[in-house]
Amino acid sequence: MFQTSILVRFGDLDAAGIAYYPNLVNFLHEAFEDFFVGHVGRPYPEAFKEGLGCPTVKVEMEFLSPVRYGDHVDIDVIVERVGRTSVQIRYEGAVGGRPVFKARNTMVVVDMASFRPTPVPVWLRERLEAAMEPAGGR
Amino acid sequence: MFQTSILVRFGDLDAAGIAYYPNLVNFLHEAFEDFFVGHVGRPYPEAFKEGLGCPTVKVEMEFLSPVRYGDHVDIDVIVERVGRTSVQIRYEGAVGGRPVFKARNTMVVVDMASFRPTPVPVWLRERLEAAMEPAGGR
Amino acid sequence: MFQTSILVRFGDLDAAGIAYYPNLVNFLHEAFEDFFVGHVGRPYPEAFKEGLGCPTVKVEMEFLSPVRYGDHVDIDVIVERVGRTSVQIRYEGAVGGRPVFKARNTMVVVDMASFRPTPVPVWLRERLEAAMEPAGGR
Amino acid sequence: MFQTSILVRFGDLDAAGIAYYPNLVNFLHEAFEDFFVGHVGRPYPEAFKEGLGCPTVKVEMEFLSPVRYGDHVDIDVIVERVGRTSVQIRYEGAVGGRPVFKARNTMVVVDMASFRPTPVPVWLRERLEAAMEPAGGR
């Protein structure tokens, strides 16, 4: 498991003064990028420039409580499954301990030159597996 | 069922030249707004100004095929369930007949003054139910 | 001159319930895309795919009056100058006749393969010049 | 003068793989928010909730060099003028010392209840003036 924190900006808000939910979906990608820097040990932009892409093929997200301007959303990043060419990650967001969202995102690893699925590279697989919960976890 | 079409703009794209998936999540809300104008018979902004809010509590979305710059995404809006204070809608997107996404969104109807759930107003319930599939539908 | 109209969506709003100004900057690009379809006679996405890019090098924009949810913003697109490799366009936005913004945008035409300036193609120059105001215009 | 640094995220990019310019306009607001926390000594969201709004009435921005994925944009925030109800701020962005943009933004201070201009509060005026360049500055 890895944790990061993302600040809610003015541009994330909607007319109700809370975070607009597609912008919270964007937070998942930002948490994924932070996970690369903080856990994988390599910025995702660098891997992306070398041809590694991770398009999302499925996302499920529940919004449990409103997220407001200036909130710091603490996001747990938990790898649930590493397949041959796909990765499933769970994200749990909280503000000051209050759960605000939980999400599950499935990505396919692609070679950006062809945009076709490619096996998860070994260096990435190892780090992804290290972020999986131990058997018997919640 | 109701159908609308949304044009993919430059600002919707990512560095891979395809629509960035949180922007496609935003398309669901745009389709919902078009559904109000074209099917409910009343612009959502008007209802919103009078205090009706519809925050999303859950979204599930599958991305079936890339969506590209300049694509017109045809979106079917199918009401699946109208509860006392909630509404579940299915969205199916296609480009030139090729399915590109399918999604299910659950919203809660709230009174914007209190941001608390409130029963779906009668005028809205009637129009929502008219957009449900007949029993025996797919 | 060319005119288009862009609808203000929920995702364009800020916490004050009016359009967030960077989203109105995005409207300039959307108006530029509509100008291609409606005046140049060729979708910009098509030209973009063939390697024509138009990055903005300068923008100036004044916000004259609030833009609200559900507003249709009528945007005049007036070409002010066509240089060898650059184009300057003025945009004037109004809602129901009330001016809401005016802007001036300078773009450089680039070859996307090298991202270096390239002369404005003849087919485009002709159509741009046709959208200039006559001498003696306002 | 105050300086902050903003990371370029995947969602900021366009199809050319560089930051889409309206997203860089959004960076100005983010830098303004960081200026509140780091220099004014009070989060802007807090002031906003208490009724202080700062809508932009004019922005001018020049894009000097491409901003890429993963770049940390260092942004100088220089207050140029504090009027009775308005504030003019200059922003200068650089990546690793290479200038990427410069901008000037004029905001009007409003009372959010009425959305009408209101004098810049004393506590804010003092901190704004402390971020002005000394006479004889560049």
For residues C111 and C53, the answer to whether their CB atoms sit within 8 Å is: yes
Could you tell me how many CB contacts below 8 A there are between chain A and chain B?
Answer: 60
Distance (Å, whole) CA B30 – CA C12: 11
Asked if A44 and A90 touch (Cβ cutoff 8 Å), the reply is no
Say if residues A25 and B25 touch (Cβ distance below 8 Å). Answer: yes
Q: What are the tens digits of pLDDT across the range C22-49?
A: 999 999 999 999 999 999 999 999 999 9
Contacts of A44 in chain D (CB under 8 A): 10, 70
**Which residues of chain A lie closer than 8 angstroms to D26, CB-CB?**
9, 11
Nearest CB among D10, D29, D46 relative to A33 is that of: D10
- Residue whose entry in the numeric block shows the structure tokens 């650089």: D94
Q: Which of B74, B69, B63, B61 is nearest to B16 (CA)?
A: B69
What number is the average pLDDT over the span B73-95? 98
pLDDT of residue A121: 97
The mean pLDDT value for C89-104 works out to 98
pLDDT at C122: 97
User: 3-class SS at A114?
Assistant: coil
CB proximity under 8 Å: D 79-118 to C = 112, 115
**Contact indicator for B76, B1 with CB cutoff of 8 Å:** yes
CB–CB of D69 and B15 under 8 A? yes
Q: Which residue of B has its CA nearest to A63?
A: B57
Residue C123 backbone class (left: φ over 0; alpha: ψ -120 to 50; beta: rest): alpha
* Partner residue opposite C70 with nearest CB, options B9, B10, B43: B43
In terms of Cβ atoms closer than 10 Å to its own Cβ (0-12, 13-18, 19+), residue B45 is: buried
Compute CA distances B17 → A9, A45, A55, B109, C28, whole Å. Answer: 26, 16, 12, 36, 20
Set of chain C residues whose Cβ sits within 8 Å of the Cβ of D26: 22
Name residues whose C-beta falls within 8 Å of residue C12's C-beta, 6 or more positions apart in sequence.
Answer: C19, C20, C23, C24, C69
Q: Is the pLDDT of residue B127 over 80?
A: yes
Whole-complex ipTM: 0.95
Instruction: Confirm or reject contact between A13 and chain C (CB < 8 A).
Output: yes
DSSP state for residue B124 in the 8-state scheme = H
Q: Which of A69, A95, A105, A112 to mutate to test binding with chain D, by most D CBs within 10 Å of its CB?
A: A69
On chain D, the residues whose CB falls within 8 A of the CB of A48 are 10, 69
Query: Element (H or E) spanning C89, and its range?
Result: strand C86-95
pLDDT for residue A135 is more than 90: no
The shortest CB-CB distance from D10 to any of A29, A69, A70 is to: A29
Averaged pLDDT of chain B = 96
Q: Give pLDDT, residue B135.
A: 61
Of all residues in chain D, the one with the smallest CA distance to B69 is: D15
And the tokens for C130?
Answer: 């046709």
Q: Does B21 touch chain D (CB under 8 A)?
A: no
Residue of C nearest to D16 (CA): C112
> What is the predicted pLDDT for the residue at A133?
80
Cα–Cα distances (Å) from C29 to A74, A129, C89, D35, in that order, read 35, 43, 11, 29
In this prediction, residue C134 carries a pLDDT of: 73
Specify whether the CB–CB gap between A19 and A64 falls below 8 A: no
Model pLDDT for residues A40-50, shown as the tens digit of each residue:
999 999 999 99
Cβ-Cβ contacts under 8 Å, A68 against chain D:
45
User: In terms of CA atoms, which chain B residue is nearest residue A25?
Assistant: B22
Contact flag A21-B112 (C-beta cutoff 8 Å): no
Q: Are strands D72-82 and D110-111 parallel, antiparallel or unpaired?
A: unpaired
Contact D18 C56 (CB under 8 A): no
- Binary contact (D20, B11; C-beta < 8 A): yes
pLDDT for res D135: 62
- Kindly indicate the confidence band of residue C138, based on its pLDDT and cuts at 50, 70 and 90: very low
With left for phi above 0 and alpha for psi between -120 and 50, is residue C20 left, alpha or beta? beta
Mean pLDDT of C91-118: 97
pLDDT at res. A138: 46
Tell me if B20 sits within 8 A of D10, measured CB to CB.
yes
- Give the mutation candidate from A12, A13, A21 for the B interface (greatest B CB count, under 10 A): A21
Q: How far is CA B63 from each of CA A23, A56, B56, B60, B67, rounded to the nearest angstrom?
A: 18, 7, 19, 10, 9
Q: Write down which chains contact chain C via at least 3 CB pairs under 8 A.
A: A, B, D
Dist. CA B45–CA B36, nearest whole Å: 9
Provide the residue type at A109 as one letter.
V
The Cα–Cα gap between D33 and D93 comes to 15
Does the predicted model carry a pTM greater than 0.90?
yes
Distance from C-alpha of D56 to C-alpha of D106, rounded to nearest angstrom: 6
Residues of B in contact with C10 (CB under 8 A): 29-30, 33, 44, 48
Question: Do C11 and A17 make contact, defined as CB atoms within 8 angstroms?
Answer: no
Q: How many angstroms separate the CA atoms of A31 and A61, rounded?
A: 14
Token pair of B28 as six digits: 């669901």
Q: Provide the 8-state DSSP code for B112.
A: T
A neighbours by CB contacts (3+ pairs under 8 Å) = B, C, D
Q: Return the structure tokens found at B62.
A: 């599958």
- Is the pLDDT at A8 greater than 80? The verdict is yes
- One digit per residue, the tens of pLDDT, for chain D of length 138 reads 899 999 999 999 999 999 999 999 999 999 999 999 999 999 999 999 999 999 999 999 999 999 999 999 999 999 999 999 999 999 999 999 999 999 999 999 999 999 999 999 999 999 999 999 876 544
C-beta neighbour count of C104 within 10 angstroms: 18
- Mean pLDDT rounded to a whole number for chain A: 96
**What pLDDT does C135 receive?**
62
Indicate yes or no: CB of C62 within 8 angstroms of CB of D58. yes
User: Mean of the pLDDT values across residues B103-111?
Assistant: 98
Do the Cβ atoms of D25 and C21 come within 8 Å? yes
User: What local confidence, expressed as pLDDT, does residue B136 receive?
Assistant: 53
List the structure tokens of C102. Answer: 């005016």
Residues 6+ positions from A67 with CB-CB distance below 8 Å: A8, A18, A19, A24, A73, A93, A95, A100, A101
End-to-end alpha carbon distance in chain A: 12
Size of interface B-D (CB pairs under 8 A): 23
Contact state of C10 with A20 under an 8 Å Cβ cutoff = yes
CA B132 to chain centre: 13
pLDDT tens track for A50-62: 999 999 999 999 9
Planar angle of CA D101, D45, D41, nearest 5 degrees: 80
